[in-house]
Amino acid sequence: MKVQEIKEIAQRMSIPVGKMKKTELIRTIQRTEGNNECFETGIAKVCGQEHCLWREDCQ
């Protein structure tokens, strides 16, 4: 997903985007949703979140 699309999601959630980088922005969205801040933490293969919005970009 492109950074602009992620920023739009964050703005709809009233998250101040500022100069956040992609990883920080996605983790902030995850936290706001009440999910684990797991984006790019290396657990994608074992996290069990097959339908996660960020799955394609996660490592």
Segment (H or E) for 11: helix 3-12
* Contact criterion met (CB below 8 Å) for 45 and 26: no
* Chain centroid offset of residue 34 CA: 12
This prediction's pTM: 0.87
Residues of the chain with pLDDT under 70: none
